[in-house]
Chain A
């Protein structure tokens, strides 16, 4: 991507006042620049959930990990982020009026693909909803009750049940049985609760 195009993108993202669109555009620009160096970035955690759900959950920071095995050396990271007039580093950057945290290798157990959004500066990847769902349900109850995580999980489930995020429920079941989570009962319970509120059948219900 040439310098002129980067400057134009940066001006657009800096001026953007919708937090979710701003995050998505920044993810698009960063993904394009890092991909030129052979590193595939992926939006993770609450940032990914926000882009998937519009749940009004995320804060003013965007969390990304690298999906490719190795990341870039610190010097090269600084060179890329300098193209964006980013301050800080090497993992936390202030750029275009928000924060970008580059957190290291992505942790995913699902066998489904990362979801992909074709955005203005190039496509970007989102963490797999199967991982996000099981993880968010876990956070809502462990190590203790967490209302914000529970509300976030409920909104996420509602959007999935509404048919606007495609999810592999067999994979959700498999992940929830893994030693890393062991929360199938909690997942079944919360999905049923949301399904009941939406007056539809739960895809995780045994019958």
Chain B
């Protein structure tokens, strides 16, 4: 699987560029979605009060849909 991937890797040594990180977003999302549901943000936490106040009743900004990554 690794050898076939043309998507930039986040390496152990060195760094990944911003452009490469952006470029890999969709593939990383798609990989995760193959083994678990799309959005897995927790329903609640000890930070709920402040989060819901800032994000209009939500716990954060909505995630960008996979097709738009």
Residues of A with C-beta under 8 A to B25:
20, 54
Please tell me which one of the listed residues B10, B38, B40, B55 contacts residue A152 in the complex, with CB atoms under 8 A apart. B40
B31 touching A159 by the CB < 8 A rule?
Answer: yes
Mark each residue of chain A from 115 to 127: 1 if its CB lies under 8 Å from any CB of chain B, else 0. 1111110010010
B1 touching A198 by the CB < 8 A rule?
Answer: yes
A202 within 8 A of B: no
Give the secondary structure class of A's interface.
mixed
B51 touching A119 by the CB < 8 A rule?
Answer: no
Bound form: Cα–Cα A22–B69 in Å: 14
B10 touching A165 by the CB < 8 A rule?
Answer: yes
- Chain B residue nearest to A120 in the complex (CB): B18
- Chain B residue nearest to A99 in the complex (CB): B50
A30 within 8 A of B: no
Of residues 14 to 41 in A, which have CB atoms within 8 Å of B's CB atoms? 17-22, 24
A60 touching B59 by the CB < 8 A rule?
Answer: yes
Known: A22-B61, A60-B59, A159-B28. A154 touches B54 (CB 8 A): no
A57 touching B40 by the CB < 8 A rule?
Answer: yes
Known: A152-B40, A159-B31, A164-B7. A112 touches B63 (CB 8 A): no
A197 within 8 A of B: yes
Residues of B with C-beta under 8 A to A57:
40-42
